Amino acid sequence: MTPGTSITPVVFLAFANPRNDLNKLADEHSAIRLMLDKAAREGLCEIVERFNLDIAGLINVFQDKKYVNRIAIFHFGGHAGDFELVLDRSQVGGHSFNKFLLKYPALQLVFLNGCPTFEQAADLLQSGIPAIISTLDSIPDNIAKKFAARFYNGLVEGQSVASPFEQARLA
C-alpha cells in the first residue's frame, strides 16, 4: 500500500466456515476491515471481500479483470490443514494452488489464518511469494482475530510486514 502508485493494490479478504464452528470469524473480518478502511478511504488500497467462499468464488476474484493485476494481499480466514484451505463445498491447496497464486505478480503477501498452514506457507515462500503469514498449530478463534487485527493495524500505518508481524505476535 504505497501512496502515489498509479494502480491501487487490492486486499482480497476471503473467509470460509463450512462447519459453522468458527464463532469469531465474523469478528475477525470486522476487526480487519476496521483497520483497512482507513487505507481504503485514503486511496491506498481497495478491499475485496468474499464470505462462504468456494473454489469458484476464489478463482472468480483472481480472474476478474478489475483485480487480476492488482491483488497485493490474499488473506484467508477459516479452517485449513498443512497443505489445504477448507472452503465451502471444496478444499484447495497443495502445489497446484501455490502455482496458481504465483501467476499473480502483484501478490506480495499471503496471510493464511487457518490452522495449521506452515507447510503450504513454506512452499509458497520457496516458490517466490515475498511474504507469508501462517500458523504452526491450531489456534483459538479469538487469538486469530486479535493477531490479524493487530497485524493489519501496523501495516496500514506504513510499517513493513516484519514489524506488524512481531507486534501482533507479542500482543
Q: Count Cβ atoms below 10 Å from residue 64 Cβ, excluding itself.
A: 13
> 73 pLDDT exceeds 90?
yes
Confidence category of residue 1, pLDDT binned at 50, 70, 90? low
Q: Cα separation of 126 and 128, whole Å? A: 5
Element (H, E) at 110: strand 109-113
DSSP, res 26: H
Element (H, E) at 112: strand 109-113
Of 6 and 69, the one with more pLDDT: 69
The three cell numbers of residue 106 are 502483484
> Which residues face 156 on adjacent strands?
none
**Paired sense of beta strands 109-113 and 131-133, if any:** parallel
Assess contact for 14 and 77: CB atoms under 8 A: yes
Assess contact for 50 and 8: CB atoms under 8 A: no
pLDDT for 8 equals 95
pLDDT for 81 equals 86
Confidence category of residue 138, pLDDT binned at 50, 70, 90? confident
**Mean pLDDT value across residues 118-144:** 90
Q: Render pLDDT for 26-61 as a digit per residue (tens, 0 to 9).
A: 999 999 999 999 999 999 999 999 999 999 999 999
Q: Which residue has the cell 463450512?
A: 18
The amino acid sitting at 34 is L
Q: Render pLDDT for 87-97 as a digit per residue (tens, 0 to 9).
A: 998 888 878 89
- Residue (of 16, 29, 50) closest to 149 by Cα position: 29
